[in-house]
Structure 1
């Protein structure tokens, strides 16, 4: 890596450090990104829709500038999936493409940091097999897309340090604004970035206009969603307060939180990304210390906010890139490795072999019994993220079972009624998962849309008429206080589904109050 001090950048405002950047190995990018895409496409329809995917598809049918628990970008992406047909492979296509892009962009970060072909390949191979990314990129979720924007911001910081061209702050602002429209965690990223900038030589840019223009640009992009939150009484804050009050999420102490980071990134890859952090803070990449400080700030803030451990996952591609560059430089400096490929071959082969072992344990290539047996053989026990979620499989996989069967049971109950009673029958779902299943899978079975007051459903049109009969999903025995007649019409149970979804389906008649009067009381955000 060649480094030279050079006065001025494109703006000619200050002294910078500029280092040479080698070529991008596009064949290697195509190979590793293509493998990532292939893995997810092959596993995309093995099980079924994930609970949150059904919710996002409902959000896509009600596009807006905000939702109770999500920024609007995921609904827009789900709308694209609906446009592609709304099938399971169509819904999983965009996250699979995002996963492939993540591999390619990570390799690009390694090149920006001065890494050669080996560093680029090592970064891509690591990102191909990181367990948390194998999980998030297998379903339509915010976590599949968020890292692309965080990585884009990191790329801009690298170029700002490397070239001193402070007009690049505008690109940072654009990416940050899009990040805010993707997930509100970008606010935490922005705060950590501000602290890191203040503690690095980039603080000099605070005296110039472009960084402030970037902040204004990000605010303007985020403004419609911010106004939506204000107009609706800050539902996000109420939702977060309810989650804390209910103790819904598993709260981790600082040390446990850090251990979980090592676990979901694959403990065998810990030396790579940790060496990247050390190199950014103290080693040959210390010119990019702002990135190391950014990571430490994000880690501290996520622990303080009692966030779920995987909320920090989007920051790690830059650490893997830094670690790959540091590893490449370390191998090049060893006498025993000069002119010999075997250390690199051993390292890449080992990571590739571990990745090949992990993929069938984390993606639905195997039937559930064989998957569990394979996980036990590898000693894998997925972490529990929410207190009330229990089942034989981890939540990401368990929440993909039972939705067609539940919808079939509802259809059987609904079609057992006379046409006259059907005309005055509503399907009420206590949770967005059940509502999403009815709304996405129900039309093919002749079912009406579900009524639901959970999360964003509570903002969508309230019932415009009264009903005499209700098919109730996800409800408890308290229904007897609301209806004259409560009958258990079916008991939904799927052996591989989550325990809280294996519940009775009630057929209720004779409401003591009309649904329009009760609607404001039914709203629940959690």
Structure 2
């Protein structure tokens, strides 16, 4: 792939695509409600630290900055994820240009990001998943610059992105291991002898060090959390064929030919120079397939395949203008059809009607859960304030002297975080929970003699309290099934809460 190949920039087309994607996210940012994980990350931002049980600390620090600059409105919380979606469009087009793609390839690469169901979902919320693809794509872009420009200094950039990625989400190890594997299997292994590799590793370790020390100090709780998650029964375990079918579904079936072409491109004569990156991408897909990982874990690798696929299609269709016109049109039509299924464009009532037209087809399924009116990614935005209101009614019906030492205990991090987010406006104290990092934050000053318990069937509470009485019901419309339950008023804990706390951890 000659670097002096004449190719123009498609910025006049790419930038409008990026802006439209950002605008779509901003216009729908406040359509429903706040998402479960967003509530949790806000709680983490109010307990800033170098680590958390189930995730690295970067998202908490980003959330803290947002809260202290833009505020806590849905639009404020979701501005950065929206901008990240536009940046991903632009970066994918830049990769296509860097790798020799002309204006059409750059346009197609950018367009391919817009209608991807899993991106439309994950870049709607302020979570670490919104920023993860940027680190993956940046690493592959830097690796290609090392190869094409014969410049090992980009190894340092890979180290920076790896360190930031580790502070964002531990899954950044997958593209790094894949890239190492790809380099070892090609002549590009020569770059592993560069002095810049040691610098790269040192930079990555230095950036990751605060969280690494936290993990060591707490006994690597993420490993326990991940093991329990795999054994919980909520994770969908997919066979090889089903996993690959899922890839086509969550990435938009119309785009499957493009990323398959992208994989094939690296094994052609034209793509030989970048074969190590193609091997890395294939390795990541096969590795996560073999690990029976969640199907969306591999999604950050696809922008690279869209870029290479766009280059390949541009060359294959050089004399077939109708393909160049028809395929983008198919992408646009599929995007318009799928968007209401994965973005909060329609009201819940109209979504249900539209969903029924698709025979209740859901492009993305995160967990193996019972049927509900809305998909999980929508239902997790409903019911939180209503739950808090019901809890507040129970709390304020207690005598003032009892309120002073009544704890609000949640069996789920989402419930606990919702109480902490909405509770102050209803006069509620901060919650306590045995879930995720809430357990590390402890029982505060409470002795457990008076506890409002959320998310329990009451049977387990009877083992620890002298009296357990139903006090209210949570049954918000459109919320998920496990967010419909009875709230219990529990009194007279035994043994004391401080003695019981180490034994009720739920990771």
Q: TM-score, normalised by structure 2?
A: 0.96
Q: Which residue pairs with 2:112 in the alignment?
A: 126
SS in 2 for 1:181: helix
1:361 paired with 2:328, answer no
Return the offset for 1:390.
Answer: 4.4
**Distance in 2 (alpha carbons) for counterparts of 1:352 and 1:283:** 31
8 Å contact 1:19–1:162 — kept in the other structure?
no
8 Å contact 1:58–1:436 — kept in the other structure?
yes
Q: Which residue pairs with 2:315 in the alignment?
A: 329
Return the match for 1:49 from 34, 38, 43: 34
**Distance in 2 (alpha carbons) for counterparts of 1:520 and 1:24:** 59
Return the match for 2:491 from 509, 515, 523: 509
Deviations 1:140-162, CA, capped at 9 Å, x for gaps: 22221000011001111111111
Return the match for 1:95 from 81, 105, 111: 81
**Distance in 1 (alpha carbons) for counterparts of 2:46 and 2:238:** 36
Task: Note the 1:403-418 alignment, pairs <5 A.
Answer: 403-418=384-399
Question: Aligned pair in 2 of structure 1 residues 281, 19: CA closer, same or farther (>3 Å)?
Answer: farther
Q: Which residue pairs with 2:25 in the alignment?
A: 40
**Distance in 2 (alpha carbons) for counterparts of 1:430 and 1:92:** 27
1:373 paired with 2:358, answer no
Task: Note the 1:428-467 alignment, pairs <5 A.
Answer: 428-467=409-448
Question: Aligned pair in 2 of structure 1 residues 520, 228: CA closer, same or farther (>3 Å)?
Answer: same
SS in 2 for 1:442: helix
8 Å contact 2:407–2:446 — kept in the other structure?
no
SS in 1 for 2:407: strand
Return the match for 1:479 from 454, 461, 465: 461
Size of the alignment, in residue pairs?
504
Q: Which residue pairs with 1:174 in the alignment?
A: 160
**Distance in 2 (alpha carbons) for counterparts of 1:212 and 1:75:** 30
Return the offset for 1:69.
Answer: 1.1
8 Å contact 1:492–1:504 — kept in the other structure?
yes
**Distance in 2 (alpha carbons) for counterparts of 1:152 and 1:20:** 23
1:351 paired with 2:331, answer yes
Q: Which residue pairs with 1:65 in the alignment?
A: 50
Return the match for 1:165 from 151, 160, 163: 151
Return the match for 2:405 from 424, 433, 444: 424
1:288 paired with 2:269, answer no
Q: Which residue pairs with 2:237 in the alignment?
A: 251
Q: Which residue pairs with 1:313 in the alignment?
A: 299
8 Å contact 2:342–2:363 — kept in the other structure?
no
What root-mean-square deviation, in Å, do the aligned CA atoms of Structure 1 and Structure 2 show? 1.6
Q: Which residue pairs with 2:365 in the alignment?
A: 384
**Distance in 1 (alpha carbons) for counterparts of 2:343 and 2:224:** 34
8 Å contact 1:390–1:500 — kept in the other structure?
no
SS in 1 for 2:491: strand
Deviations 1:251-283, CA, capped at 9 Å, x for gaps: 111221111111111111111111011011235
Mean alpha-carbon deviation: is it higher for 88-97 or for 283-292? 283-292
Mean alpha-carbon deviation: is it higher for 361-370 or for 95-104? 361-370
Question: Aligned pair in 2 of structure 1 residues 204, 352: CA closer, same or farther (>3 Å)?
Answer: same
Q: Which residue pairs with 1:15 in the alignment?
A: none
**Distance in 2 (alpha carbons) for counterparts of 1:234 and 1:220:** 18
**Distance in 2 (alpha carbons) for counterparts of 1:300 and 1:357:** 30
Return the offset for 1:467.
Answer: 4.3
8 Å contact 2:229–2:235 — kept in the other structure?
yes
Question: Aligned pair in 2 of structure 1 residues 242, 211: CA closer, same or farther (>3 Å)?
Answer: same
Q: TM-score, normalised by structure 1?
A: 0.93
8 Å contact 1:389–1:395 — kept in the other structure?
no
Return the offset for 1:522.
Answer: 1.9
SS in 2 for 1:313: helix
**Distance in 2 (alpha carbons) for counterparts of 1:209 and 1:23:** 35
8 Å contact 2:117–2:364 — kept in the other structure?
no
Return the offset for 1:377.
Answer: 1.7
Deviations 1:455-514, CA, capped at 9 Å, x for gaps: 111122432342431111012222122222211111111231111111111111222332
8 Å contact 1:272–1:323 — kept in the other structure?
yes
1:76 paired with 2:61, answer yes
Return the offset for 1:21.
Answer: 5.9
Q: Which residue pairs with 2:374 in the alignment?
A: 393
Return the offset for 1:407.
Answer: 0.4
SS in 1 for 2:389: helix
Mean alpha-carbon deviation: is it higher for 43-52 or for 240-249? 240-249
Return the match for 2:251 from 265, 287, 292: 265
5+ residue gaps, structure 1 = 5-17
**Distance in 2 (alpha carbons) for counterparts of 1:516 and 1:49:** 32
**Distance in 1 (alpha carbons) for counterparts of 2:108 and 2:369:** 39
Deviations 1:114-143, CA, capped at 9 Å, x for gaps: 112211111111101111101111112222
8 Å contact 1:36–1:99 — kept in the other structure?
yes
